[in-house]
Structure formats: C-alpha cells, structure tokens
Amino acid sequence: MPRDLHPRLLRGFVATAETLHFGRAAERLHVAQQALSRDIRALERLLGDALFTRTTRSVELTPAGLRLLPKARRLLALHDEIVTDAAHRPLLLDLNSDVTGPDLTACRVLERARAAWPEGEILARFLGGLAAAAGELLTHRLDVSFGRFAGLSTGLRSQLAQVPVRLEPISVMMAVGHPLAGRSVLRLAELAGHPVDVCAGNPATTEWADLGARLLAEHGLVAAAPYVPPVGVDETARYLARHGDPMLTTTGGPLIPGVVNVPLVEPVPLSLVSLVHRPDLRHPGLTALAAAAAELGSREGWLHRPPGSWLPTADAGLVARA
C-alpha cells in the first residue's frame, strides 16, 4: 500500500540538505531543531534509508539523500504551485440581485472586502436569492452567498456554513400611485386590506417568501398572488405598477424610478442576513469578506436587535449562537 509523504518532511529535508546544518535549517523553517530532527528521522524511516551522515562537526548527504534532493525540490515546487493557484483563483460571490440600493448589505461588504484585499479577485454573481445560490454552492459553481439561512431546508442547512452578518429592517416598496405610498412609515396594521407581495412566485427566493409568509400570518395580513417575478429595475417598476401590491423588501433596498420604499413599524420586522458558504472552503477572499462584515457590523451595530422588534425564532437562534 502506498505510504503518505507529508510535504513538511520534504521541506525539512531540503532545508537541511541545502545548509548541511540542522540549526540553520531549523531557523530557516522557523521550527525547533528538535522538531526538525524528528521529521528527518521520520522521513528516513518512511523511505527505509539514511539521508544524512552526522558527526559532531559535520552533516553530509548520503547517496540516498543526493538522489532524493532534486526530486524533493520538484515535488515541493509543484506543491507550492498547486496551493498558490488555489489561493489566487477568483472567489465567486452571489449578491442575490443586480439591482443597486443605498444600503444593501452584500454590496457594502463586497466593496469593503475588495478595498482591504486589492491583490485578490472577487467576482460577483446575481442569482436572485439564497435558495437559488445554495445549489450552486454545493456543486462548487459558487463560493459564497448572502441571505436568510434559516429559510433554507434542513438538508441544505446541514451541508452549509453561515455567519450572521446583519439584522435588516423590513419595508415595503410600491408604485408612487399606491394609496399608501405617501407615508413616511407604515404600521403593520395599516397593511390590512392590502395584499402584500412576498415573492411567492420566485423559486430563487423561497427563503424570503417563507419570512414574508410568517410575518403576514403572525399579524393577520394577507399575501398577494404568486406572480412570475420581474428581473431588473425597469421590469420591477412595471411589475409593481401593473399588479398594484406592496412588495416586501428591506429599508436599504433597491432604488427604482417611480417606486417608493416605506419602512414598517409597530413592530419593526427584521430579516437576518448571513454570509453562507461551504464548510470546507479555504480562500483568502472568504477571509476578506468575513473580516469586512465583522468590521462594518461592529461599527454600525448590525446585529443589535431593537427592543420590541419582530424576528422569527429560528433566525433569533442563529444570532444568539453567533
């Protein structure tokens, strides 16, 4: 049966072969000399041959060591090339939507991460929602997404990792001609008699539709019919004008001509946005995104929950465990 050979053992061997001194080799590798000697002995046992002759005054390569040295250098060079290529490939990030807004969490985190990691590349994707992105994450066609993690199925959640990022206040957007469009804020009770569009017709955003359905049901409100979803700013404006229903969104949501965004109050409903990725993902771009989210969140109180606000129990549990 083939025996595994850890690159660390070869790295210790090459450093010792090039310096012919265990102390200097250990300093080069930033390890203790005792640990280096232990690795050399382990490599010799694995290969079944002595690699160095040692005296009190000198260290020399044996014939076996001389034969191994060029091979070890080639293998380590290939190892480093593989690791470097993996670390420098672009990170694929789903922003959910290509519509911009004044305070969209994913866009702000991306902007901060790119500024903090200018040598790397984060490529944005626009899949429409976390439900659509989850499958892409699991098939490695996407690396990171944002959205409401608690709204995914149990099976999907068990295969993904998440970091709570922000509690976003929920609002409704509607065409300027809607009877409620002139309000600065809307009490939830004032939506009685006005069916609310929770994007139930969009298979890419089922996690959001679940949040909306819970909010409406707990406050005695009615959901609008599940229409085919629009794509883009212009189509969303036409969609809202045509169907006439307020659509659930967030207060930092998209800026759309002819459409107003009105915050909901009494209580203030919240949506938990999480950074979602595969548990085994190791990429400096993910590190940059997580650091950016933590920095913005700490500075602006993104995970602070206002007293009396509304948040589903499952989402509140994710915040509490963070």
Q: What is the pLDDT of residues 265-275, one digit of tens each?
A: 999 999 999 99
The pLDDT value recorded for residue 210 is 97
109-162 per-position pLDDT tens digit:
999 999 999 999 999 999 889 999 999 999 999 999 999 999 999 999 999 999
Q: Which of 27-31, 118-122, 289-293 has the highest mean pLDDT?
A: 289-293
246 lies in the same domain as 312: yes
How many distinct structural domains can be found in the chain?
2
Phi, psi of 172 (to 5 degrees): -125, 145
63 lies in the same domain as 201: no
* Spatial separation of the C-alpha atoms in residues 282 and 121, rounded to whole Å: 15
* Spatial separation of the C-alpha atoms in residues 197 and 270, rounded to whole Å: 17
96 lies in the same domain as 77: no
Alpha-carbon torsion 219, 225, 228, 231, what sign? negative
Specify if 2 maps to a domain. Answer: no
* Spatial separation of the C-alpha atoms in residues 128 and 168, rounded to whole Å: 18
Q: Identify the residue whose tokens are 């709570």.
A: 164
Average pLDDT, the chain: 93
The pLDDT value recorded for residue 255 is 86
Distance linking the first and last C-alpha atoms of the chain: 44
Q: Find the domain containing 223 and state its range.
A: 91-321
Specify if 81 maps to a domain. Answer: yes
Phi, psi of 214 (to 5 degrees): -65, -45
The pLDDT value recorded for residue 85 is 66
Specify if 24 maps to a domain. Answer: yes
The pLDDT value recorded for residue 79 is 84
79 lies in the same domain as 206: no
66's tokens: 């001389």
> How much of the chain is in helix, strand and coil states, percent to nearest 5?
45, 20, 35
* Spatial separation of the C-alpha atoms in residues 205 and 94, rounded to whole Å: 13
Q: Which of 63, 88, 113 is the last residue of a domain?
A: 88
Give the three-class secondary structure for 103: coil
Residue type present at position 91: L
164 lies in the same domain as 48: no
197-210 per-position pLDDT tens digit:
999 999 999 999 99
61-111 per-position pLDDT tens digit:
999 999 999 999 999 988 887 777 666 789 999 998 777 777 899 999 999
Q: Provide the pLDDT confidence category of residue 3 given band limits of 50, 70 and 90.
A: confident
The pLDDT value recorded for residue 66 is 95
71 lies in the same domain as 129: no
The pLDDT value recorded for residue 128 is 86
The pLDDT value recorded for residue 4 is 83
155 lies in the same domain as 54: no
106 lies in the same domain as 75: no
Q: Provide the pLDDT confidence category of residue 56 given band limits of 50, 70 and 90.
A: confident
Of the candidate ranges 43-57, 72-86, 208-222, the one whose mean pLDDT is the lowest: 72-86
Q: What is the CATH number of the domain that holds 25?
A: 1.10.10.10
Q: Which of 88, 105, 135 is the last residue of a domain?
A: 88
Report yes or no: 236 and 199 within 8 Å, Cβ to Cβ. no
- For 256, other C-beta atoms within 10 Å of its C-beta total 21
- For 302, other C-beta atoms within 10 Å of its C-beta total 19
The pLDDT value recorded for residue 97 is 78
Specify if 98 maps to a domain. Answer: yes
208 lies in the same domain as 131: yes
Of the candidate ranges 81-85, 221-225, 230-234, the one whose mean pLDDT is the lowest: 81-85
The pLDDT value recorded for residue 2 is 57
112 lies in the same domain as 148: yes
124 lies in the same domain as 262: yes
Beta strands in 176-258 (DSSP E): 186-187, 247-250
Specify if 1 maps to a domain. Answer: no
Per DSSP, helices labelled H in the chain are 7-19, 22-29, 33-47, 63-88, 105-116, 130-138, 154-159, 206-218, 233-243, 284-300, 313-321
Q: What is the CATH number of the domain that holds 191?
A: 3.40.190.290
Q: Which of 47, 70, 88 is the last residue of a domain?
A: 88
157 lies in the same domain as 281: yes
Classify residue 269 by its DSSP letter: B
